[in-house]
Every structure is written in C-alpha cells, then in structure tokens.
Structure 1
Amino acid sequence: MDCRCRVRSRIFPVAVLLLLVLCEAKTRDEWVQSHRVIYQLLTDRFTLERGKEQDTCGSDKCEGGGYCGGTWTGLTEHLDYIKGMGFNAIWISPHVQNTKCGFHGFWPKNFDEVNDHFGTEADLHALIKRAHGLDLWIVMDTVLNHMSMEEPLENLWPFNDTIYYHKDCPMDYNDQYAVRNCWLMGLPDLDDDIPQVRKYLIDWAEYQVHKFGFDGYRMDAIAHMQPETLYELWERLSNTTLTIGETFMASAQSIASYQFNRLQQRQLMDGVTNYPLAIQLRLAFGEKKTLYGVQWMWEQLIKEVSDLSALALFIDSHDLQRFLNLQPDVTLFTNALTWILGADGIPIVYYGSEQAATFDIREPLWRKGYDQEAFHYKMIRRMLTHRKAGVFDGPQQERYVEDWLYIYSRNNTLVVTSNLGSGHGRQPFIPKENLPTAYTTGTILCNVLTDACDTMVQEGGLKIVIGEGKPLVLVMEGDFIPDSPANDIGWLPTTTGDYPALQKANADSAADLNKYCFEYADYLGNDVRGVTATSPDECQSECQHENMCEYFSFIFVPSLHRNCWLKNSKEGRVQMWGGESASISGPKTCPADSVVGVRASIEEREQSAERGYTAALRGQ
C-alpha cells in the first residue's frame, strides 16, 4: 500500500476524497519497472454481454455506426481473453456521458454522469475490481479540451454557457495560437485560461482517478490546451498515476516539448504518444520504404526526448487506418508489431491486432471473433512472456541497419525485423563488433517466435536466416522461456475438422491445381458484410444472393459469430492465413469446367518442401 496520494480538490464529495489516502500509487516508475503493456480497446466495440448479444450498430443513424452494444460488463466477462495474451494493462474509452453519436467517448455532454450506454458506476467499479484481481491496470481516457457539438451549449454540463469557451475561429495547425484557441473539428473549445474552468477540469480528473481506482490517465488532444493546465494536472496526478498525453505530431522535437518543457524546465506529462516513430514504422513496413527512416527517427528521439521509456509505442490506433487495410501482407504487419513489442517505451496494441483484423478502425471485434489459437494472439503472448521476464530490459541499441533490415538489441536480446515481405528471404551476416558483447563464439541463441534454438554465433559474427520475410527475436539459452507444445504458434495456421462437401486437389500436376474453384486463402479487406455459414459452399451461396458480392472468404471456426465474409474484390489475397485460422476463399460463381473443391496454388506446391504445405493441405 502506498499512501503518497495528495488530496487538493475541494469541489467533490469529501467522504470520497478522504479515502484517497488508501489509494495505491501507479506512478511512471511503477509502470515501467513492472513491464506494463497496454491493450487498447473501444468499450462500445470490444464485446457484447453474454445473454445480450445484439449488435445495434447503425440503429441511431450516426456516422461511424453509433452505439453497437459493447459494455463494461461485457468487458469484465472477457478479461481472460486479454490476460491470456499476456497484457497487464487495458486502455478503455472515456467513461463520461456523451451525446447521441459519441460512442467513442470524445464528445462529452455531462462530466457528472457516466456513459449509460456502457453501464452504471457499479458496473465500472466491478470491471476495475475484477481487472485488478488479474493484475490488469486500467487506463482512464479523457478529453478536457472540448465538449460535444451535437447539442446546444445550454444542454452541456457544467459548461453550459458561451463564457466558458473560446470564440470559434479557423483552425490552422501551423499557427500556435489557432491550435490552442480555435475549435478542433468544430468542437466547442473550452477556455482553460479561465481559472474556474481550469480548476474544475483538474479537480474532476483527480477525483475520477481516485473514485474509480484508475491506474493510468490518458489525455486527448493535449496540444490544443494551455501548457499551464497540463503542468498543474501532471503535478496533481504524478505521485499516484501515470499520465500519457496524445500528441498527433510528426516530429520528435514537437512531442518532446509536451513531455518536458525545456524552456520552462518543467514536466507536462509522464509520457506522450510516439506518433513520429509510428509514422516511420508504418512507412517502412506498411509501404516498404527504407528502414533508414526508422533509424533517423530513433536518433531524433534519443536527441530530443527526455524520457524514452515513458513514450507510448504503437502501430495502430483509433485514429489511424488499420495497418492491414493499407498493407495486406500479414508478415510485414508481424515485423512491425515485433519491433514495438521489444522496444524501449510502453507498447500499446490496438484491439483486433491479435486477430489480424482488416476491418474498419472502429469495427466491433465480435465480427471477427476471439480466436485464442490465432497466430498473432499467441505471438503477442510469447513476446510479452519474455518482456515481463526482463529480457527486453536495458537500453535499446541499434546494431545493424540496411535499406530493408533493422536490428536492435536490448541487453542480450536481438530483435531482427525486415520489410522483405512474405515469400522473400535473405541471410545477412552480422559482424561480431555489431553484436552484444555476451555473444561469444559458440553461443546458442533461441528464437522467441518459433521455440527453435538453432542459431549459433560463429567466430566472425552471426549469420541470420530470414525465411519468408519473418522476424526473429533471438535470446540466449538461459533467458529463453519455451512455450508449451500445445500452444506452439508455428508459422502456418492449423484447422480442426474436414470439409466433407469439398474435394481436395491432387498436388501432382499444375493442371489439376488450376481446375479447383476454391483455395486455402483469405481475401483480406474489401468486405461487403459478414454472415454466418456452416461451410464454404453455403458461404458461396450467400455471395450469390448479394448483388455487391464477387468473392467470399469462409473462416472455419464454428464459434465465430460471423465466419463468412462477402467481398467485392480479392485484392487482399493472402494464401493460407484466414485470420490465422483455416480459411477457404473463392469466387461468386465457379467456372463451368472447374471442380467445387479446394486447390493450392502452384507457388504453394513448389514451396511445400520448405514450408510444410503438404501437411497443411488437409487430409494429405
């Protein structure tokens, strides 16, 4: 128990504030030292309550789908799913009452009420209590910069008069005055230069943190607020709670100034969102641009940022198009995810990443499913098992960079990433002077991602085998934590059951391979809608009854709510993945001379010896 919590607020119930001395501090140091990794979700879009599985998206005719039905109780029921990946922190949506279409939480209406679409105060308390029992810390998200534009000001609370707001003016992101005083995207901008406004916001934030027992505090749009407000808020919370501010900026110098103001020599936030690095990682892995861009940005961050370990690392978020929408190559996504999960900072993984989701950034997860055998679900678990064991502690040191390759170390762990993509491999030789000093001739290294301990340091350095564009995370044998065989993630999906209605290709001839109508593949993205089907044949039939459908992908997971996805294109074709579960795809109508069965591509057949595709072809 830590009793360092400071009580300054006087506008909220005294009885509750007297309990603040009992709070447990979750400071910046405690977050970093306990190896916290955050799973970010949208409360409304993560999961439905058991017994109330009704998808209400679109019922209120709001842009973005409005409220879809996710609740705090539903999240409480599914905490084991998040814990099973190894996460030890969750970032939920802002919990205050929002206006009609504010399912995301960023259009506040009433600071005195919780969002009843998500549940009651008791439901939120129950969620946090259950999470703490699983050693899951909860991050409170807030927006103090503005109120909702959906209703007249007089309907908003407590700021129900124009005197509390800046006058509307054109936003110019190159003008500091406009950024801090004009209305962001038409949202009424609170004037936090007014003492009463600033005091209320800071008192309210502190009260909410301690009332519900939040462990972290994330603040939206901090670049649009006055630095004085940020400083006072950080000073109030820093002894009890980690603070992270959103800084949607592309330069290291810009985000650094919102963590620590060098001019005034004072802290504004413990950490900020590392958008500059996220942008470079998405360019390098998502668009296959040079990895020297990541090298340059990391150098800038080291130069400008006062505390790298408190920066929030991410690839996807609620404000960015999903990586796999932009780049359908799942292996490139795996490399990007591996980079942040081993790096210095506080990694944040956006919901759906563990299922290789390709849908809209704010789509309900129940439309994809909660497959705990999914490749990325288990890959994340392996990385976090080792991260929490300390193998990624210590300074992050760049070891070797080429246009297509980026290798860094954390102590004696080597993280190897590339943007070669699926189907491509190389075998770079890393000179001994570029390796950790503990790597001596004969040292055996184990790959966290495959459980294989088959890499040995040679006299002059290390030969790294990059097969199929896959990343490697190499640790010394003494640091390696094997995964149980039952949970082996492998590099190919597995499936259960057969497809009695389907014939299978004989892989002896190219002619035979080409005559089969269906294939083991997933056509990522380009969704028309998702439905439930019992077989690929039925899924194809659903496609034939949908005017906009041209192709389909059937995912063989019986428990999945929607396992048949109707597509208008197959541009996102990825062989053998299927959201990391067995997936069969095909056209709306099969050619007259084809067999309604499963085929493997010629490329798969030719690579079968190396990749084990013969074992993956069911029943063969």
Structure 2
Amino acid sequence: MARASKIFASVTGAAALLLLTALKLSTPVMAASVDDWRGRAIYQIVTDRFYQGDGGNNTACADLSLYCGGTFDGISQKLDYIQGMGFDAIWISPVVENMADGYHGYWAQDFYAVNPNFGTLVSLKNLVQAAHARQMYVMLDVVANHAGFPGNFSTTNPFNASTDYHTECNINNWNDQTQVEQCWVTGQLSDLNTEDSWVQAELGRIVSWWVNKVGGFDGIRIDTVKHVRKDFWPGFAGSAGVFSMGEVFSSDATYIGPYQNYIDSLHGYSMFYALRNVFQQKQSMWDISNQVWTDEQNFKDTSVLGNFIDNHDNPRFLNGQSANGIPTVYYGTEQVYAGGNDPANREPLWTSGFNTNTDMYNFFKTLNGVRLQDPFANKTMNIHVSDQIYTFTRGNTVVALSNVGSGQGVSATFSLPNAFQNGTVLTNVFNSADSITVVNGAVTVTIVNGLPGIYH
C-alpha cells in the first residue's frame, strides 16, 4: 500500500465507508427485488470505454468525445477482472442506438434498436448470461426524459412527431421545477412530453421490452429523474418490473429524498458531496456524521441508496487529490484514473492493461472480501467522531477512517458495543502488524498516512 499512502489515502477512506456499510443479503441471481439488491457492490461501466474485446486494436483513443470502440463482448471477456475485485453487480451505460457520436448512450435515436457500435442483441444477451453464470447482477442504464439532439423528429423511433416533445426552452431558473421538468437539458436534448398518455405508455413498453424480453436485466438505473414529474415514475418503474435506481443531481437531501417515494432507490448525491468535502477539502469528519443523520431523516430507505465517489458525470475523485447503501465504483478508479470534467473522466480502460496488481485493485479486493465474509452484519455508525477520525462497526469489524491525508497520523481511543468482549484482538486487514485489543470495553486506533484501518 506504499503507493496508495502517497497518492490516494483520501479515496481509500471514502471507499471503505461505502463498501463496508452495505448490508449484504444472500439471494439467488435474477430475483431482482429491492432486498436482492440491498448490499450488492456495483461496478459502473461506460461500455464504449471498457474493452474493445479480443482482436481489437485496443490502442489509446484519439478523441474522447467520439466513439473509442468498447463492446459488449469486451465486457464479457473481462468479467474475471471485475469479479476479482469482489464486485457482484455491473451497471452498463445505455444500449440503444444513438445520434452521431453518442458513445455514452444518452442521445437516443432509436429506442428499440441496439447501438451497433457496441455489438448485437445476441452479444448483449450473452453478456447478461455470462454475468448471471457468475451470480452477478446486471443493471441497465435507461433514459425516459429525452431523446437526442433536435432536428427532424421523423428520424427518431418511436417518438417521430413534434407533439411527442415539450416546446423547446432553456432551463434558466433551476429553482423553477416546471422549467426543470419541461425545458430541455443543456438546451439541446429533445425533451419528451411525458404528460402525453401515448408517450407515457410507449416509454413503459420500451423499458419492459429491453428488461424483460431482450436482456433479462436485474435492475435499471434511470437517468435525469428530476427532469420528469414525480408521479410519472411509478408507472415507468413498474413496467420494468425490476429494481430501479434514479439520478437526482443535487447535493440537497431534502430535495432528493422525496423521489424515493416513487422509485426504489436513488444515487446518494448528498453523501457524495459530503465525502468529497471531507476527504478532498479536509473538512471535519463530523460532516459525515451529520450527513448520515440528514439522509436518515429525508430518505425512505438509506440502505438501498447508490452511494459513490466517482461517476461518469463528475470529475474523478482523484482529480482533486461509509455511508449506508449500495456502493458503486466507477470503472478506472482501481487503476487510479484521475480524469477531470467530461469527457476527460471517460478514459479507455484497456490502456491500463487491466492490471490486477495496483494498490487500488487490491484495496477493493480486500474490502469486498471483508464485506462478503459476514453477509448479515449489523452496522453501528458514529461509534466515535472527531474532526479527524470517524469510526463505525460492521458485525465484528471495527472501521476507522481519517481525513488527515498521507504523511500524517492521528490516534483515538473509544468504547465499542458490548458484542466486543475484553481481550478480543482485532487485526488490520491491510497491515497484519497493526492489531488492537479491547480493554475495558474500549480500543485505541492509530491512523498512519491517512489510510483506513479495517480491524477484523
């Protein structure tokens, strides 16, 4: 972990919080209910940037704003790499045919056709089947708010009439929810008229077709949820018939939380911003404790929130040098990718050679190993909180995190729950020479170089 201690002590702390506060439930693959997803660990993939597949040239991408060549077959061929880190679910970017240069999948042109740049329906089905054979879930990214760029609507299937869309307008006031829901994202993406009964029904048919008839997917991730009125979402998610996780891009838990009354889960953006403030900006660890409390007050069920430190819409965590829920790790974090704003944060992974010896790859492997050893572990948050240390327990594991960064150390003594008996010796999974002993119901931990202590 020497390189980790110099480069990314902050990301290991944030990742430990996310991965070790998940509650794992043992269930068979493809059941795809809320409880089945609770505690899974998700690896997020931008298909075009993951792997071209055997036989591809797999060279660096000359222009990250264009297609780079990743395929469904490429993902299938590297499931060993993903599972080797202990992830038991993948989230893949949208699969529908897009307008020109829509490598990311969010500029739909034909909602019923697979993007030929990624492969065929057969290769997509093969990917899902290959993942299921490994007891891994597959989450499909879907978009119901908009199609691609405006122009001749007749080229968009099935929404080929201007009446299928809201009148073009820009979002000039983000506090005006009507503008947020009915104007066009970026002022360019054709906003679907989701108040129209036929458009509503057709979007339901589309998501049902992909999930149930084509892919056999286990869950959906829904893009741009806040840009459609709330009462649209139960019917759409119900048509999918599987677990749903939505994106409500905001740092305000009081704004995000109510959407969970309409779909199963949401990305944990409120905790995302708290973690960045604590581990990048070195703000007080009390911010994590306060955010845990705030989220509990505003979300229906924090245990299924999709918490993350990186994704395709934000600069990577390392660009700027846990919480309860379902941890999500963005591809490339394990290779210490540090890209900035889109598209710099969507680098090809194949240029890394899929190195399984990086510190971060092995960090995730170890962390997920601890998570899976005790599938029904209970969590006790806020065991000890100070400006520089945050601790919690998960089953018979004590986790200590710090924001002090590399080259620094900090210690704390604190009491443990009664389940930890006097004389119990716990050893740091990252450093066998670092052990703590329960004395009079308490332990003393010392954080070195800002790296988390996971005592098991």
User: TM-score, normalised to structure 2's length?
Assistant: 0.89
Matches within 5 A, 1:139-178: 139-149=139-149, 151-171=151-171, 172-178=173-179
What's 2:309 paired with?
315
What's 1:77 paired with?
77
What's 1:179 paired with?
180
Partners of 1:177 and 1:287 lie apart in 2 by 34
Task: Tell which deviates more after alignment, 440-449 or 371-380.
Answer: 440-449
Could you give the per-residue CA deviations for residues 216-273 of structure 1, whole angstroms, max 9, x where no partner exists?
A: 1110001111222201123334xx411100111111121110001xxxxxxx111000
Could you give the per-residue CA deviations for residues 507-532 of structure 1, whole angstroms, max 9, x where no partner exists?
A: xxxxxxxxxxxxxxxxxxxxxxxxxx
**Is the partner of 2:391 in helix, strand or coil?**
strand
**Is the partner of 1:141 in helix, strand or coil?**
strand
Could you give the per-residue CA deviations for residues 155-190 of structure 1, whole angstroms, max 9, x where no partner exists?
A: 111111110111122302110111111111121100
User: 1:24 Cα shift?
Assistant: 4.4
Could you give the per-residue CA deviations for residues 360-412 of structure 1, whole angstroms, max 9, x where no partner exists?
A: 31011122331111111111111112212226732442111111111122233
What's 2:337 paired with?
357
Equivalent pair of 1:45/1:364 in contact (CA under 8 Å): yes
Q: Does 1:272 align with 2:266?
A: yes
Q: Does 1:386 align with 2:370?
A: yes
Task: List runs of 5+ in structure 1 lacking aligned partners.
Answer: 1-22, 261-267, 328-338, 476-620
What's 1:374 paired with?
358
Equivalent pair of 2:207/2:239 in contact (CA under 8 Å): no
What's 1:223 paired with?
226
Could you give the per-residue CA deviations for residues 64-93 of structure 1, whole angstroms, max 9, x where no partner exists?
A: 431001000111111110011111100011
Partners of 2:433 and 2:91 lie apart in 1 by 34
Partners of 1:56 and 1:460 lie apart in 2 by 55
Matches within 5 A, 1:51-62: 51-55=55-59, 57-58=61-62
Change (3 A) 1:368 1:243: same
Q: Which has the larger radius of gyration?
A: 1
What's 1:31 paired with?
37
User: 1:202 Cα shift?
Assistant: 0.9
Equivalent pair of 1:246/1:273 in contact (CA under 8 Å): yes
Partners of 2:208 and 2:451 lie apart in 1 by 45
What's 1:524 paired with?
none
**Is the partner of 2:410 in helix, strand or coil?**
coil
Partners of 1:453 and 1:426 lie apart in 2 by 14
Q: Does 1:297 align with 2:291?
A: yes
Matches within 5 A, 1:280-295: 280-295=274-289
Partners of 1:428 and 1:247 lie apart in 2 by 37
- Percent identity over the alignment? 36
Paired amino acid for 1:198: Q
Q: Return structure 1 stretches of 4+ with deviation > 3 angstroms.
A: 54-59
What's 1:457 paired with?
438
Partners of 1:151 and 1:377 lie apart in 2 by 44
What's 1:196 paired with?
198
**Is the partner of 1:309 in helix, strand or coil?**
helix
Change (3 A) 1:56 1:199: farther
Equivalent pair of 1:391/1:413 in contact (CA under 8 Å): no
**Is the partner of 2:431 in helix, strand or coil?**
coil
Partners of 2:178 and 2:311 lie apart in 1 by 27
**Is the partner of 1:465 in helix, strand or coil?**
strand
Partners of 1:117 and 1:458 lie apart in 2 by 61
**Is the partner of 1:464 in helix, strand or coil?**
strand
Equivalent pair of 1:58/1:65 in contact (CA under 8 Å): no
Q: CA RMSD in A?
A: 1.7
Equivalent pair of 2:388/2:410 in contact (CA under 8 Å): no
**Is the partner of 1:454 in helix, strand or coil?**
strand
Q: Does 1:206 align with 2:208?
A: yes
Partners of 1:453 and 1:415 lie apart in 2 by 13
Partners of 2:407 and 2:150 lie apart in 1 by 49
Structure 1 counterpart of 2:382, from 373, 398, 402: 398
Equivalent pair of 2:382/2:392 in contact (CA under 8 Å): yes
Could you give the per-residue CA deviations for residues 274-331 of structure 1, whole angstroms, max 9, x where no partner exists?
A: 000000101110111122222211110111111111100100000110111111xxxx
Partners of 1:389 and 1:203 lie apart in 2 by 40
Partners of 2:55 and 2:151 lie apart in 1 by 33
Partners of 2:432 and 2:152 lie apart in 1 by 59
Change (3 A) 1:356 1:393: same
**Is the partner of 1:428 in helix, strand or coil?**
strand
Partners of 2:154 and 2:175 lie apart in 1 by 32
User: TM-score, normalised to structure 1's length?
Assistant: 0.66
Count of residues in correspondence between the two structures: 421
Could you give the per-residue CA deviations for residues 543-592 of structure 1, whole angstroms, max 9, x where no partner exists?
A: xxxxxxxxxxxxxxxxxxxxxxxxxxxxxxxxxxxxxxxxxxxxxxxxxx
What's 1:347 paired with?
327
**Is the partner of 1:122 in helix, strand or coil?**
helix
Equivalent pair of 1:99/1:150 in contact (CA under 8 Å): no
Matches within 5 A, 1:543-562: none
Partners of 1:450 and 1:41 lie apart in 2 by 31
User: 1:210 Cα shift?
Assistant: 0.9
Paired amino acid for 1:352: G
What's 2:403 paired with?
419
Partners of 2:100 and 2:150 lie apart in 1 by 8
What's 1:241 paired with?
242
Partners of 1:450 and 1:241 lie apart in 2 by 41
User: 1:429 Cα shift?
Assistant: 1.4
Partners of 1:425 and 1:206 lie apart in 2 by 52
Partners of 1:205 and 1:28 lie apart in 2 by 18
Equivalent pair of 1:99/1:151 in contact (CA under 8 Å): no
Task: List runs of 5+ in structure 2 lacking aligned partners.
Answer: 1-28
Equivalent pair of 1:43/1:71 in contact (CA under 8 Å): yes
What's 1:428 paired with?
412
Partners of 1:96 and 1:163 lie apart in 2 by 22
User: 1:458 Cα shift?
Assistant: 1.8
